[in-house]
Structure 1
């Protein structure tokens, strides 16, 4: 069985002391591949270092997280452009809109989001979308780009059935993580009529650990209880779910 973590920040400070043990536990949990979303220029070097340490398993994206979009975001985008010219990346991400923490730079967030989606189209790359308290706004912003062929993942999906269907209509995938196991989120019901053909798995570690680890540091090994919960809700074998979601991940990231 193979599980793929399509969104994990393994380069975070939280893993600095025990990254090898984290990777070993992930291996024991059948997690074979890891996709690393970028945040901003303060973490690019650490991300690349983890990829270099595990070159056949870790794959870096490049982009500017919406929470890092400030007045000087064009400087950050210049740094990203230089990285994109220097080497290949598997995706542009994570990018998007975040209206939860701070709405000071909403206009700048929209501008940065659109610029980076244009880059993804230019390079034939998928995108990883951060859409906290902004799913509908992200769907509307992505639509003109998806009409031109842009694809990707709405990471950490926690929305409604209607929003899930709207995302699928864009030809995007739903990134399902620890939130699926939160009782109040009611995600099994929201995804009841959503085919696994539109779903990939993720942890967003070190954040959003699933039940029964909620409140603790998340890590890629914990994708297993997420997969088990989703398989149970869909009444299928865990191995079948792993096969379908991993095939989806390889397809969107153009991996062999």
Structure 2
């Protein structure tokens, strides 16, 4: 089956802007805000500790931080990363299943530890494969990235371990890798433009309104844009996954018995 890019982009937006999608977006935004503030707290403390005594105040990064000890900030970073992985799994399950009104309870509970563990380890493996491929004149890295693009969908929605998920993603993307590459390029281009505009427009507006020292607020705004773009990317790729999975081919549901998928 040939991947339809336009419908994937439109339906991805529809999934994200539905009641279920907005609920997931709200949860992800809160989690990533906690992560960013906690990370900023640790980073500011680290930089301050490395500076010599009497260093100018301007050398300390202007970051929005939490009024908590470093140890607490460190714990919050770890908790936020685990929560982000959990919300990512829930988001993919919701988008693949096409749920728009609500997030089914089973999406939050069914084999969540298994899914999060495989998302975490699989993400590291994915990154290493793409990195090694990129070292080989870039093109193999791009091919690896596109070929393994649906690992997350197989782990979250079809309850596969990350090794099987990578193998099945490689098979599923065969014949559509150029289209998938173009789809990712379009999405990244949109994200780049929006992020640039937020940096310039919001940075200028805050600078005029409050003077210097607003870069920390702009950074949080850019982080929010990244949250929205990340979930939109997940929604679009989940729609592309369903298109290819349910179409004719070796990975189609029509050619093999169901595997107890959460998105069925």
TM-score, normalization by structure 1: 0.27
Structure with the bigger percentage of helix: 2
Structure with the bigger percentage of strand: 1
Structure with more relative contact order (C-alpha pairs < 8 Å, separation 6 or more): 2
- Max Rg structure: 2
TM-score, normalization by structure 2: 0.27
